[in-house]
Structure 1
């Protein structure tokens, strides 16, 4: 079993995206802290997956379902990040990011930073999309991201 932290804007959206991915066993929504200068917590998820899941597919999906190439005023709270739990995973992530950047001719602002701590969101917002699929937020922000999941899954 592997773990990966992902920050990509609102954690409600990121949670829903990765709950829809085959082979992801568990998604935890909350806040992740790293080391300075990233010690402030930001909205993120932790995913648990097996070695049957393609790391490049996971990272590609992450990059394509949030603003991974653009800065904005709330980047501290909504950091574009991949949090690693060990040096081996860090090396794999860096290789995938380099490959995807070259393949797409994109410059990603996504930071690859060490995981330090996780604090779960309030219980009443866990599984946000699954418990409120008809909420306006879900219709406007989450469902378009789920269409990307379907589209990418068909390609891979």
Structure 2
């Protein structure tokens, strides 16, 4: 097999039309965007309401991370979540949030193994979430976005 066999050729207009329904794709992107945004807000709310910011900072410290990183994480989850829900620079926001999930995998969930049902939660869920953010970045803003990405 040569490098030419491994290269991905761009889709033709016919192939694109056959594989993506242009009528529903904007709504699929909207559904994904709003769901991802709501998940980020839910995780921020968990850190604020249930754990409290001070408790989240203590947890981050117990992992050997700077406790202040908890406050930054909460802010990123709130700002990113709101931006996704509203459709403000969706592609860029989705790409910017991927490192947050990769950090969660490497620094928090990785040692627990793959399955999220493992004790201390594995990295399955944050990995899926990171892939969903990548898909969102590829799909774009979708319907009803306030500020289109470029």
TM-score scaled by length of structure 2? 0.27
Whose Rg is larger? 2
Larger proportion of helix: 2
Larger proportion of strand: 1
Q: Does 1 or 2 have the higher relative contact order (CA < 8 Å, sep 6+)?
A: 1
